[in-house]
Amino acid sequence: MLFLPPRRQLFILLFASLTVFLCISFLATDVGSTALTTVKTKVSETASHVINNTNPPKGTTVDVNAKKYKPTPTYTPPPVQDPFPLLATSTPPPIPKWNAPRENLHKDYGLEYAPPLLIGFTRTYPVLLQAVVSYITSGWPPSQIYVVENTGVQQANTRRQLSLQNPFFLDHAALGKLGVNIVQTPALLNFAQLQNLYLSMSYARNWTYYFWSHMDVLALPYEDGLEGVTPRYDEPGYRSLYEAACRAANETLAADPRWGIRLFAYDHLALVNRAAYEDVGGWDTLIPYYMTDCDMHSRLEMAGWTLREARAGVVTDVNTVLKDLRALYRDPAVVPEFLDPNPPPPPPPPSEEEKKDDKPDGAGAGGVKDKREGEGEDANMVYYHKLRDVANSMFHYKHGERGRNTWQLGQQGGEGEPFYYPAAGIAQGMDMLTETGRQVFRKKWGWAGCDILGEQAQRKLGDEWRVEEKR
């Protein structure tokens, strides 16, 4: 403007002032207010549709950068139930007398100390409680059972700040009544890290060997007898699951100086040699979940440590829970049945034709047909066989079409409680870590499968991170 004639400059200034005046006047009128209100309404409506995941009206401009929530699940599983409410008001009943451990039983088998049993817990308390009670009623001394609370919620469970519907809930009071030990991790560990924690515990407690078990199992002794392991429960020489485990430990220590692991139903229950774990450097924590056992077991065998199977009892892989854990104490008033802590959505109502074709099979929901009653067996054996049959049904239920780990999503509550984390987030996050671990295993060994000791792979110690992957 400095180079324009004075008249031209004055004209431009007057025009600009008039424009500003007209804009202010328009906004002050009803028409202007209506226009602004309309714009605000359209923006608000658009945001509402984005938040509620619905389609906005035609002609509405949608902000592609606006926050969009995932659809709300159409089905939420029912609240999980405490399978052992008796512990809230009473001490546990006595275990079956034929499984009660003798004092210093381990010394009868030449063991320097009573073998400890470590059971890790992260989520789904009813499943953990079932495992603990099943081992106790199978003869394992509660004082030698260590529940390792691997939740990451610090002191929240100790202070009873979490509810039963919280995935990380653990009832310290109930476990205390059962007489077991509780060890807390300082943070949420992955599976490989948890295994290395067990190794660390063995140093602190001077354990040169120890047992560990998954929490999603149901343990029973061979009360009907098994050749080479134990006679029947009512015959001389009967061994409970715990006594059979002590015997297996004795035989292993005496016969095999290079033993690494003894596997009872794969690693659902396992006996560990601390020296073997030390020799291969422990578990690879960069492979956090699946495939980490393939890595560890393969390295043990590469280093000349043996992995062999052994038997002590029936240890069943399950994802469901007995309705009432008093069944494991052989309470005749309790019928052995199981519940799914995360049942599938209910099916649609049957059509009239389906109703006509639907015939009862004689087995209750979660129960089994009483195949052996009336066969001349005593009441204890009849009840034991019912438990065995239910455990078998639980196994097949877990390995059905829905997948093995649905039980981990049964508890959907806990919002607002200390250290809250959504159940869906826990599951998705662990799934992502699991998949990453598979890729780490593949890169580490240049091989995708667990058969890295096979004729095709032929991997050996020292091949880690050095072998090119075959495409």
Q: What is the pLDDT of residue 50?
A: 47
Statement: residue 11 has pLDDT above 70: no
Mean pLDDT comparison of 2-16, 89-103, 336-350, highest-scoring range: 89-103
Q: How confident is the model at residue 25 (pLDDT cuts 50, 70, 90)?
A: low
Q: How confident is the model at residue 77 (pLDDT cuts 50, 70, 90)?
A: confident
Q: What is the pLDDT of residue 101?
A: 97
Angstrom distance (rounded) from CA 86 to CA 93: 9
**What distances in angstroms separate CA 68 from CA 51, 64, 65, 76, one per listed residue?**
6, 9, 9, 21
Per-residue pLDDT, averaged over 181-197, amounts to 98
Residue matched to tokens 């308390």:
125
Q: What is the pLDDT of residue 411?
A: 72
Pairing of strands 259-264, 145-149: unpaired
Residue 348 lies in a domain: no
Instruction: Give the tokens for residue 82.
Output: 């405490």
Statement: residue 41 has pLDDT above 80: no
Contact criterion met (CB below 8 Å) for 448 and 470: no
**What distances in angstroms separate CA 222 from CA 297, 359, 470, one per listed residue?**
28, 35, 46
Q: What is the pLDDT of residue 374?
A: 45
% the chain with pLDDT above 70 = 79
| Residues linked to residue 145 through DSSP beta bridges, in sequence order | 117
Residue 346 lies in a domain: no
Pick the more confident residue, 310 or 49. 310
Per-residue pLDDT, averaged over 218-245, amounts to 98
Residue 19 lies in a domain: no
Concatenating the DSSP letter of every residue in 223-244 gives: TT-BTTTB--TTSTT---HHHH
Statement: residue 197 has pLDDT above 60: yes
Statement: residue 58 has pLDDT above 80: no
Contact criterion met (CB below 8 Å) for 246 and 109: yes
Q: What is the pLDDT of residue 351?
A: 64
Q: What is the pLDDT of residue 400?
A: 78
CATH number, domain with residue 239: 3.90.550
Report the chain's mean pLDDT, rounded to a whole number: 87
Contact criterion met (CB below 8 Å) for 382 and 389: no
Residue 236 lies in a domain: yes
Per-residue pLDDT, averaged over 7-21, amounts to 62
| Residues linked to residue 272 through DSSP beta bridges, in sequence order | 210, 261
Q: What is the pLDDT of residue 343?
A: 78
Count of structural domains within the chain: 1
Residue 182 lies in a domain: yes
Q: Which domain holds residue 283?
A: 85-318+419-436
Residue 92 lies in a domain: yes
Residue 330 lies in a domain: no
Q: What is the pLDDT of residue 424?
A: 87
Report pLDDT digits (tens) over 387-436: 999 999 999 999 877 654 554 565 778 999 999 999 889 999 999 999 99
Which amino acid, one-letter code, is at 210? Y
Q: What is the pLDDT of residue 40?
A: 46
- In b/e form, how buried is each residue of 359-379, taking b as 16+ CB within 10 angstroms? eeeeeeebbbeeeeeeeeeee
Residue 74 lies in a domain: no
Per-residue pLDDT, averaged over 204-221, amounts to 98
